[in-house]
Amino acid sequence: MYHIIFKFQLTLLYVLLSAILVACSGPPNHLDAYLSENTSRQLPASELRSRIILFGDAGASSLEPLQPSLKIALSQAVELPKQTSILALGDNIYDFGYPKLLAGESVLNAEQKLLISHLDAQLEVSRRSGAEMFVLPGNHDWFAGQVDGQAAYIEKVNRLSESEIDFVPYRAGEMPFAEAVYRDGISLIFLDSMWMIGAKDEVFDRAIVQLTGLLEQVHIQYPSNLLLLAAHHPLQSMGPHFTGYNFLGNLIQWVYEKTMGWDYGGDLDDAPYQRYIHALEKITSAYPKVVFAAGHDHSLQLFESANASRYDLVSGAANASKVSMVAHNENTLFAQAIEGLMVLDVYTEGVLLSVYTVEELPLSAKATYRYWLWRR
């Protein structure tokens, strides 16, 4: 009984600290974005080859009316649906992933249906636009104990609505090793970063060997393609998951782990996370054009890497209610704590990143920030 009361008290403390964190740190960052001096305003001169829409941590999204960030995603997808791929970068249902039926019940209750509606809101971007969509798992999706329920639900929606929506990487009953698809000018590589970070050394090593071989194969088949690696956990961040950031963020993390009973190494300086970062930095350094896109921290960030051939993106701000503070470091090109998303456009002349934010209603289709990652 005492254990139950203690866990309830920790849960209340976690909610209170999270509210304080947002209240104390959110608004200033909503007003001012960090912009690098070399912000590009030059528009493309060639035709669009592929568009990649990136949003993450959308697990509290409203379906009716549709979440503002998802409205922006829809407006971008509907322009050229056949050339567009939508990537949901994990934490698709807060806080414990896809709900399970309670003991003795045969149908979902109202609260569980509400949770699923947050996922439905994201899937609507694909269903309404006709663009393909790839849904990746995050740590909160894995807090269900598995991601099979979410994968099965997405497969059902895909079948009934005749959409092109896939839960990736996923193979029922198998390890979720990296998967790849190829589009015009870009190769998409999908990682289950939560599974990788939590894996034992032997399994993690197998995943890295498989990923290394996959990237080699992708590069041989499409040597001129941009490599986009997508996962939930980023390689760089200056949000609360960068644990040197502030004391309050670290305290919240500690309470969360005690409440949930799972220390999964979710901060960038945790040993399992460092293993993940170092391995991926080593692998990607062999290729000339790499973008690593993720969520996890609830902000919008663009980083250069020590290896000039890679850029790191954090697009985890799909819900204003989840947006958290963000700072910048020597690698930062853009950072803002506000609801929004990112779009990568691949042209013959190069790759253009656009950041769209929800700053006012009615929503504007104008990008807050644009930056040419590569341009001839």
pLDDT score of 72:
96
β-bridge partners, 229: 189, 292
For residues 92 and 140, what is the distance between their CA atoms, to the nearest angstrom? 8
Q: Tell me which fold the domain 36-239+263-375 belongs to.
A: Purple Acid Phosphatase; chain A, domain 2 (3.60.21)
**DSSP characters over 195-252:** HHHHS-HHHHHHHHHHHHHHHHHHHHHSTTSEEEEE-SS-S---STTSTTS-HHHHHH
**Which ranges of the chain does DSSP label H, i.e. alpha helix?**
2-31, 68-77, 110-129, 139-142, 148-161, 193-198, 201-221, 247-260, 271-284
**What are 247-254's contacts with CB under 8 Å, separation 24+?**
248/17, 248/20, 248/21, 248/24, 249/21, 251/17, 252/14, 252/17, 252/18, 252/21
For residues 31 and 110, what is the distance between their CA atoms, to the nearest angstrom? 37
**DSSP characters over 258-307:** HHHT-----STTSHHHHHHHHHHHHHHTTSSSEEEEE-SSSSEEEEE-SS
pLDDT score of 4:
46
pLDDT score of 28:
34
For residues 84 and 87, what is the distance between their CA atoms, to the nearest angstrom? 10
pLDDT score of 104:
79
Task: For the chain, list residues with pLDDT below 50.
Answer: 1-7, 21-31, 262
User: CA 75 from chain center: how many Å?
Assistant: 19
Domain ranges of the chain: 36-239+263-375
pTM (whole model) above 0.85: yes
pLDDT score of 302:
97
| List of residues 6+ apart from 197 with CB closer than 8 A | 233, 264, 265, 266, 272, 273, 275, 276
pLDDT score of 305:
87
pLDDT score of 30:
31
| List of residues 6+ apart from 85 with CB closer than 8 A | 50, 51, 52, 53, 131, 132, 133, 134, 183, 188
Q: Is 206 exposed, middle or buried (0-12, 13-18, 19+ CB in 10 A)?
A: middle
Decide if 99 contacts 240 (C-beta within 8 A): no
